[in-house]
Amino acid sequence: MMSILRFSRANDIPGAGLSVASPPVLADLIGSWFNTNPTTGEIARLSISERGGALLLNIEAAGPPERVAWHETPAVPYMASLGSAEVTGFEAHCDLGFMETHLAANLKHGVLVVQSYNRFKDGSGRGDYFTREFFHQSVIHERGLTCAKPNHDRAAFMMAPGVSILGEHTAAVDLGKLTGLWKNTNRATRGICELTFTKNGDAYELNALGAGEPCDWGKVVVIPYADGVDANYPAGFVAVYGFSFMQVFLAANMNKGLMIIASYNTFCDGSGRSNCFSREFFYRAEG
């Protein structure tokens, strides 16, 4: 009798010919990781090692007056997908007796992001709490990866991503997929409530609606960006609003259907107000 393949989502279905998963490649995780926040009250240092194919954590947490060493804890590595051996995260359960901590971590661009879910079991009345912190390793950067030789036929560049693989210009970045209404995921935002993208000739315009009155900021032309010099799919954009009392520089990027906008607000009215930064998330409104 043929067994039935069971799955809970499309990503649970293995690709054609995939029967046995490849062993995880742990190299990118192995080593010492340091909290980017030197004044953290959480995990200060995390040492990750491999023993007999298992992933092991040795944690040093901040504490008065010295760091607190936790007992060695096994971790479960996770791959990017069913057909991949690349480890992109891990999870672990640390039972400290008086409390327990679940760790859920992911690795991206050399940054280890660790979320901790902390629950007390000692009847002290202390509330359960959540943290999310960032860790780095001591990195020696590789050199000489860009093999382009200077010549008069090649466009100038300062970094490797500026070198075209195709050797020719691609079409302009197309923001057509972003047109329409986008709304802030935070219903209590004090920044931008919603924004609308429209096409005007060959340009794309952004119309932002601020929280408060509400206030229509008007339209400005956006500058689109792709994720490489040979691409034309929109990875982000920048736009600038200039008001009499302040300038707002908006830097946006797309991630899994979310529009993430970092807002840099510079006051120019002599009021003494501090320049401020915010980062908010927007979803496409249906219809």
Least-confidence region, from 99-113, 139-153, 203-217: 139-153
CB 158 within 8 A of CB 173: no
**Is 121 domain-assigned?**
yes
Give the C-alpha distances (Å, rounded to integers) separating 156 from 169, 170, 172, 231.
Answer: 14, 16, 19, 18
What residues does 49 pair with on adjacent strands?
A: 56
Last residue of a domain, one of 87, 107, 136: 136
Give the largest Cα separation in the chain, rounded. Answer: 80
**Is 148 domain-assigned?**
no
pLDDT above 90 as % of the chain: 59
Same domain, 275 and 225: yes
| The pLDDT value given to residue 1 | 46
CB 115 within 8 A of CB 130: yes
Task: Give residue-wise pLDDT tens across range 152-197.
Answer: 456 676 655 666 665 555 567 788 888 999 999 998 999 999 999 9
| The pLDDT value given to residue 146 | 53
Average pLDDT over residues 54-74: 94
Least-confidence region, from 45-59, 139-153, 162-176, 264-278: 139-153
Average pLDDT over residues 251-279: 93
Encode burial over 16-39: b for 16+ CB neighbours within 10 A, e otherwise. Answer: eeeeeeeebebeebeeebbbeeee
pTM here is 0.76
Residue 1, SS3 per DSSP = coil
**Is 89 domain-assigned?**
yes
Whether the link from the prior residue into 65 is cis, omega within 30° of 0, is: yes
Task: Give residue-wise pLDDT tens across range 1-15.
Answer: 455 667 777 777 776
CB 278 within 8 A of CB 264: no
Residue 72 CB neighbours (<10 A): 12
Same domain, 37 and 87: yes
CB 43 within 8 A of CB 104: no
**Is 102 domain-assigned?**
yes
**Is 12 domain-assigned?**
no
CA distance 230 to 240: 26
Same domain, 112 and 200: no
Average pLDDT over residues 73-87: 87
Give the C-alpha distances (Å, rounded to integers) separating 157 from 145, 171, 234, 279.
Answer: 14, 19, 21, 30
User: Into how many domains does the chain fold?
Assistant: 2
Residue 268 sits in a domain of what CATH number? 2.40.128
CB 128 within 8 A of CB 147: no
Same domain, 202 and 110: no
Same domain, 270 and 196: yes
| The pLDDT value given to residue 177 | 83
Same domain, 251 and 196: yes
Same domain, 114 and 43: yes
Find, among 61, 89, 59, 60, the residue nearest to 73 by Cα.
59
**Is 229 domain-assigned?**
yes
Last residue of a domain, one of 136, 166, 193: 136
Least-confidence region, from 31-35, 65-69, 84-88: 84-88
Q: Which domain holds residue 214?
A: 176-284
Residue 104 sits in a domain of what CATH number? 2.40.128.120
Average pLDDT over residues 43-59: 93
Last residue of a domain, one of 111, 136, 161: 136
pLDDT above 70 as % of the chain: 84
CB 122 within 8 A of CB 99: yes
**Is 161 domain-assigned?**
no
Same domain, 186 and 120: no
**Is 113 domain-assigned?**
yes
* Residue 132 pLDDT class (50, 70, 90 cuts): very high
pLDDT at 262 over 90: yes
Same domain, 121 and 208: no
Same domain, 219 and 119: no
